[in-house]
Chains A and B, each alone.
Chain A
Amino acid sequence: MPSPVRLTHSTTLVLVALARGVRHGFDLLDETGLESGTVYPILRRLERAGLVRSRWEAVQHARAEGRPPRRYYELSGAGAEVVKEARALHPDAARATAPRGGVPRPRPA
């Protein structure tokens, strides 16, 4: 299936990071090393194309830490398909993002 968004190098970096379980905007910045001005528009585009879904963190969870809730992003089924295509297009991008700590963060409910 051809991707509904243009799979640039940066888009691939974001997609791969999401596939590895990175969910929050700023975490994606840390993970990919890209600027916020690049990552956020990519997220919006992916979301609009239905490759990414976004939700809000549960309020209780945030309140427990004394901060406002964060928004998190995750790949949709179609998004997971596109990641494969993106990896094939940009193998270097797939290698560049090794998971930090190797353990996916706990998924907030």
Chain B
Amino acid sequence: MTTPEHLPPQTPPPGLALVRLFAPIVPSHRREEWIAEWNGELQHAWREARSRAEPALLTWMRLTLRSVGAVSDATWLRRHDGGFDMLSLDLKYALRSLRRRPSFATTVVLTLALGIGATTAIFSVVNGVLLRPLPLTDPERVVMLHGQPTDGDVEKVTDGSSFPDFLDIRAQARSFSRMGAWRAWTAVLTTPGAEPATMRISLVTSDVLPLLDATPIVGRSLQPADEHADAPAVAVMSAALWRSRFGGDPSVVGRAISLDGNPVTIVGVVPTQSALLGPTELWRPIVPDPMDRARGAHRYLIIARLAPNVTRERAETEVRTIARRLEQQYPADNAKRGARLQSLQDSIVGEARPALLVLLGAVVLVLLIGCANLANLFLVRAAARERETAVRAALGAGFGQLIRHLLAESLLLTIVGGAAGLVVAWGGMKALLALAPRTIPRADQVALDGPVLLFLLVISVLTGLAFGLLPALQLRRANVSLGGLRDGARGATTGRARRRWRTALVVSEVALATVLVIGASLLVKRFWQLQTTDPGFNPSGLLVAKIELPRSRYEKPDAVVRFYEQLRRDVDGMPGVQSSSIAYEHPLGEGWTSSFTIEGRIAPPQGQEPEARVRPVQPGYFRNAGIRLLRGRDVSEQDRGDTPGVVVINESFARRHFPGENPIGRRLVRGSWWPNFPSTFEIVGVAADERFMGLAASGAPATYFPHAQFPMNEMWLLVRASGDARALIPALRAQVWRLDSALPMDDVQAMPDLLGRSVAEPRFNSGLVSSFAGAALLLAAIGIYGVLSYTVTQRTGEIGVRMALGASRANVLRLVVAQGLGVAVVGVAIGTLGAFSLARALASLLYGMNGRDPVIFGGSALLLTSVAALAAYVPALRASRIEPVEALRYE
């Protein structure tokens, strides 16, 4: 069928305009002919009608009506003869040709399933943790107001704010529509007939629940009136506690529960997921206590919503101005205390971000390497099918059709690979969540949901295009219709171009693999360093449990001291217990800092005193935990509340404050929270550093006071078992309850587990990135092997000639291995440069470790090159065994 020869223009008949309007619907290759057909009919009918002298209006209406039907014709053609339809034909063809080579199809699908699946699994975590917005209206407008040191000393100025500061900022700031203060607290819930349980409590001002969009399910929220000192004690309950402990009974509203022995009335229930600031079973109003009048007690976090039309920058400028004003007004407490805003989401997930992004980057690199390998496979296949393609072209297949066919094949494979990848992603996601360190926030938000599936679809299509398009581009350059048909013609130009492409692909594979291997080596080295770090204590057989005495029943310091001393005596006498001790906290617990001055030295200006960790202990703590005492003595039973104050300091303290001096006998002044207790403490001993800031961090100055002189209500019991530590737990619980039946013993943990958990994140990151690097190395080796095997096959004739002319087998071996090494060296060089610039991205995971470690860079380059040489050796061996006579005959 051909379009009729062009004829002189006619006056357009009625309806032709409509036909032209519909024409774009018709597939382009049929459009011109289609218009011509309708034009022919319309012109003919128009002429006929006029020759019959039919009323013009009638004809006009009839023809216009008929032209309306052209739209059905056009859409039919689009549906059945458009690109989609052709694609389905291409798919059928692709399916047939893939079925002929199942091993090829399987290789491709498996590579894709693993690549796409692993990438999607990591992305599902990134999406749930980092990308999914918090369940709030305009979540980006909810911010945290953090304290910020103006001189960078984070020990002195933490994120927290004091209650007076909060009140001042709330009264002065105009940039916020709401502002509230939050603080975590715990209390013991006792119900008749049930085990006492520790409740995690959010102490909040009445603005916080509305800020978190927490609408009560039953009852009411907290109100400003609840914050008055003489208001009845009330609490709002989380839905989880309501269901688990109160059976979801709405009549719980108005009922009183017993918290630390005090009655508290439940006024409402809010959804569990409203606890964005920290896990919470109960929400209680802040009823200011004496400490809330102290401007130096920075124990609150401030949360706020920006007022309409106020930008974050403007709000930040305003809070900085207010902070400066407070600094001038209250230099003793607010010196060097600035303020900054951070979105609530960032403040929740901020720390997990770098690690997750590094993991995502690593897995994407593996996917890219996988793609490069597949592109190589497809190029080889395209070469093998050059003749078939040429025949199709000769039979009239257009360039577009040939490309479509190639793409259909790669898309088909990617769709199958993507579907299999979905299964891998699901399994991978479950495995990630099971293995991931518990420090990952918002892990409950991770799911294979819409955005993740969309991501999978997009990367599948991109992958399919990536490795399908390359052979297609090759096609454009090749003179398919002529070169390919000539018998035996290997298409010198095509071959060379293709070889260049394949070499480029392998070079990039090696480069990407180098980046991954170097990154993984850095992370593994870091993890190894942590693993072999001396923790400074002996964890084996050590159990640790927190025991908190409610202030309502243990008000007097004497009662507190007596309780813990009795507890330790009782536990020491238990069978299976080697020794026990009481401390705040334990060798891996960070604790808190407090300021002090050194007697006999010029006191620094108020507000700028040095800080040190405060760690009250009972005698025997160091021996029980296995911490070396370097100098002097431990605190002793004779150090009481009414005897002179003593303190043991650690190595870091001695190094920081008494460099080159003997600290024993010097005195620290820090005041006391309890009347008639020592406020000046003589240094009696120096202990080795504990790594309580984490194994990665170096020690920080710490002070160990006798518990009898520093009677805290919450202490940790450390028990060293002579046998299986965990078997002791029930007996320990029973022992605690014999002393006080209303005391919960939460969270009993074995020290080796705690130690393991403290390196869980580096272990997880380095393990995952290492497996990615291993996969990358393997894929790159396969890539080099593939390219060289193909080259050897192609160059059989040439190698035969060389050998006939006197080249030895060793010469040939060297020739091929050198080719492989050449590719590898270029790739390694590019990759090393890439890794150099990426080292900074890794810095946050390496904690000050040298991100440009020459040993690791050199070692990785050597590893990559050796693997490349090995991968090249196999085809080289084959080349060296070519029989010249055979090869020449083959040619």
Contacts and interface: CB of A to CB of B under 8 A. Distances in A.
Contacts of B44: 24, 26, 67, 70
B4 A69 contact: yes
Interface string B107-137: 0000000000000000000000000000000
B69 A48 contact: no
Nearest to B39: A68
Contacts of A96: none
Contacts of B41: 24-26, 70-71
A63 interface: yes
Nearest to A24: B41
A54 to B, nearest CB: 7
Given A54-B1, A59-B4, A40 B69 contact: yes
Given A56-B2, A59-B7, A67 B73 contact: no
Contacts of B4: 56-57, 59, 62, 68-69
A71 B69 contact: no
B72 interface: yes
B77 interface: yes
Contacts of B72: 36-38, 40-41
Interface string A11-53: 0000000000000111001000001111111001100100000
Contacts of B73: 36-37, 40-41, 44
B253 interface: no
B7 A71 contact: no
B644 interface: no
A69 B40 contact: yes
A106 to B, nearest CB: 15
Contact of B7 (A35, A37, A68): A68
Nearest to A69: B4
Given A68-B4, A70-B44, A25 B37 contact: yes
B71 interface: yes
Nearest to B72: A37
Contacts of A41: 72-73, 76
Interface in A60-90: 62-63, 65-71
Interface in B64-88: 66-73, 76-77, 80-81
Contacts of B7: 59, 62-63, 68-69
A68 B44 CA distance: 8
Contacts of A63: 7
Contact of B69 (A36, A57, A62, A66): A36
B299 to A, nearest CB: 77
Nearest to B77: A44
Dominant secondary structure of chain B at its interface with chain A: helix
Interface residues of B, number: 27
Contacts of A45: 76, 80
B71 A71 contact: no
Contacts of B43: 67-68
A65 B80 contact: no
Interface centre among B37, B43, B66, B76 (most CB of A within 10 A): B37
A36 B72 CA distance: 8
B297 interface: no
A96 to B, nearest CB: 20
Contact of A36 (B10, B40, B47, B70): B70
Contacts of B5: 59
Contacts of A71: 36-37, 40-41
Contact of A68 (B1, B36, B67, B76): B36
B76 A40 contact: yes
B436 interface: no
A56 B41 CA distance: 12
Given A26-B45, A67-B47, A35 B69 contact: yes
Nearest to B70: A36
A43 to B, nearest CB: 8
Contacts of A62: 4, 7, 40
Contacts of B45: 26
- In order of increasing CB-CB distance, the 10 nearest A-B pairs are A36-B69, A37-B69, A37-B72, A40-B73, A70-B40, A41-B76, A67-B43, A36-B66, A69-B4, A71-B37
20 contacts: A29-B66, A35-B69, A36-B67, A36-B68, A37-B71, A37-B72, A37-B73, A38-B69, A48-B81, A54-B1, A56-B1, A63-B7, A66-B10, A67-B43, A67-B44, A68-B4, A68-B7, A69-B36, A70-B40, A70-B41
Interface of A: 24-26, 29, 35-41, 44-45, 48, 54-57, 59, 62-63, 65-71
Interface of B: 1-2, 4-5, 7, 10, 36-37, 39-41, 43-45, 47, 66-73, 76-77, 80-81
